[in-house]
Amino acid sequence: MPALSPAETAAVHLLGGWMGEHFFRTFRPSDEDPAPYDAVLHQRERRIGVTTGVMWPEGTVPGVAELSELLTSDIEGAPSVAPGGYVVWVPPRVALPEGEPHRSRLRVILANSLSGLTPGERREVRLPATVKLAKIEADGAYVSVTGGLSSEWLSLSEGVKGAFHLDSRAIHRTPSERPELDLILTRVRDRAAILEPFEVTNVEIDDTWTVSRLPEGASAGVTVIAAPEGFDPIDGTAVRRGLRAHVTRAAAQRAAGDANLSVLVVVAALAHLSDELVTTSLRGMNPVAYGVLDLIVLVADGQIRQILQARTLPWEASQ
């Protein structure tokens, strides 16, 4: 059986930590041969069979392995970064820099962002980004937007005088907290207020990524999780197709395996967990397809969401 990818390995550790918090029991990844499953968790004498998968096409994503190795080397022995497993959650549609000085700048920011993280903790990290703002006409009160801030066009249009276009393709993820996002929007509007018609300017703002520390027990080092730049994680057709494939494989492992609980954990590259389409995709599937599975969870942006709730739990049946 093929070895787990770094993203899938991280997902198994996150699953064990989440199940511990959710079910008030201790779940530990096992070193035993997991066949026919991809991985096994143990809860006392109970065996939890885990099927893993990623919600993007298989294949090597340029720069991911190299950045993981470099960051692992960067934090080794760093007094402010405790030994443990860490994850960098790269937002969708990002091409990791492979040339200098851009890669070194990214390394420094990401390595510093891991300082002080405790097991299971996640945080957002700001990465400097430049967007382009153009004033198209003196009349009107409207900002058209492409890129990561496109959903905020209405907020950006508030109070502006003239017609503008904002190219925010350098933004791949916005802050989770609304006040922080409002600061970015205010900076853009303030720059719009001083532009003359047909003038174009750069606006320095921040892209916002997520980093996290894996639960205790994970191997030391940094895992960079990223999908191919051209993959659209909110393409409903691709999500449904990918989920069906993972569910089919998980059901086959369940039929061939011996476990007290069967879990499917899938990893998605999303800007925010709220963007996920796995829940609605599962609702559109025939329940017969996933009826043999006990639990389905989604891992994205350093968080876990339960997609399918277990009908019965082995530790409850034994009480």
**Using one digit for the tens of pLDDT, what is the confidence trace for 86-142?**
999 999 999 999 888 999 999 999 999 999 999 999 999 999 999 999 999 999 999
Does one domain contain both 69 and 108? yes
Total domain count, the chain: 3
Does one domain contain both 51 and 188? no
Report the predicted TM-score, pTM, of the whole model to 2 decimal places.
0.94
Domain that includes residue 26, residue range:
6-57+231-317
Asked if the structure places residue 1 within a domain, the reply is no
**Using one digit for the tens of pLDDT, what is the confidence trace for 134-183?**
999 999 999 999 999 999 999 999 999 999 999 999 999 999 999 999 99
Please tell me the distance from the alpha carbon of residue 287 to that of residue 282, in angstroms, as a whole number: 8
Does one domain contain both 139 and 160? yes
Does one domain contain both 138 and 258? no
User: Coil, strand, or helix at residue 188?
Assistant: helix
Query: For the purposes of burial, counting CB atoms within 10 Å of the CB of 83, is it exposed (0-12), middle (13-18) or buried (19 or more)?
Result: exposed
**Using one digit for the tens of pLDDT, what is the confidence trace for 10-49?**
999 999 999 999 999 999 999 889 999 999 999 999 999 9
Does one domain contain both 71 and 97? yes
Does one domain contain both 74 and 16? no
Greatest pairwise CA separation for the chain in angstroms:
73
Please tell me the distance from the alpha carbon of residue 253 to that of residue 56, in angstroms, as a whole number: 21
Q: What is the mean pLDDT of residues 54-82?
A: 94
Could you count the other beta carbons within 10 Å of the beta carbon of residue 21?
Answer: 12
